[in-house]
Amino acid sequence: MTDIHGIYPMLYALFGADGGLDPGAHVAQVEACIAAGVHGLAVGGLASECNKLTVEERHALADWTLQAAAGRVPVSVTVSDNTTGGQIATVRRAADSGAAWAVLQPPPVKSASEAALIEFFGTVADAAPIPVGIQNAPEYIGIGLSNAGLIELNRRHPNVRVLKAEGPVMTIARLAEEAGGALTLFNGRNGIELLDSLRNGCAGMIPGVETCDVQSRIYDLHRAGEAGEADAAFREILPLLHFLMSTVDHLLCYGKRLAARRIGLDAVHDRGPATAPHPAGMRTLEHWSRGLGRLGS
């Protein structure tokens, strides 16, 4: 799985004034990310507001992403259907359209046992024609697997080859040690522990769009052994990342507005219910992002 690595920004769902998805804005987002030097693209996850989209809208976002990327970078599609049949159909649809790998979210049943989750994910993975990852984010989704459960899932279903973890570096380090290389690890949380995650077993990150150019450059510096330059570049954006990643709703409010500004979009239209921007929040965002220009320029 050495071909799956680097910075895969999770694309935002961009809405028009009519409340529907804006395909032109989405394609502009894809183009800006590719121009920014990302190593791949991700779509369909929490930052894509999967919980506010219809099945048809989730499919549309994946289709627009794959068509616009046109094979220039690999695309990972997050699958949030609530049944095994739905997830299998979505993974196969994404694979047929050119997705490189898929990430499965757990069904929203917080009382589900670990054995039931392993069975759920395993059924989908065995029917998937592309590599499958798991989003293990109990802090944000409310349900997940233990390290032992993740390792057992991979043992029984080898097509589960990637893990999108959402946790601090010590969680990542312990998982990397216990998995012994069986899983390709990505961290999320908007990259707030980018370098520590890379130094402790991660192959890449799935941050937001708004700093994907800087994070891609930091990743490239790290991979080239330029530790000092990577650390210096990371220190520049760390206050911004911490401000953005207090909650997912907060990120969707302020991160999306920063991404839109950097892409060159005129306005951000929220699909409610959504956190409304506050003047203090906008002032903080402006302060910590003041050095960031047009994305991909």
- CA quadruple 4, 125, 181, 193: dihedral positive or negative? positive
* Phi/psi of residue 152, nearest 5 degrees: -65, -40
CA 11, 14, 19 angle in degrees (round to 5)?
A: 150
| Residue 141 annotated as binding site | no
Q: Is 83 buried (19+), middle (13-18) or exposed (0-12) by CB count in 10 A? A: exposed
* Locus of tokens 């991404």: 259
Distance CA 14, CA 127 (A): 31
Q: Tell me if residue 129 falls in helix, strand or coil.
A: coil
Which helix (H) or strand (E) element contains residue 212?
A: helix 212-223
* Binding site, annotated residues: 206
Q: Which parts are annotated binding residues for pyruvate?
A: 206
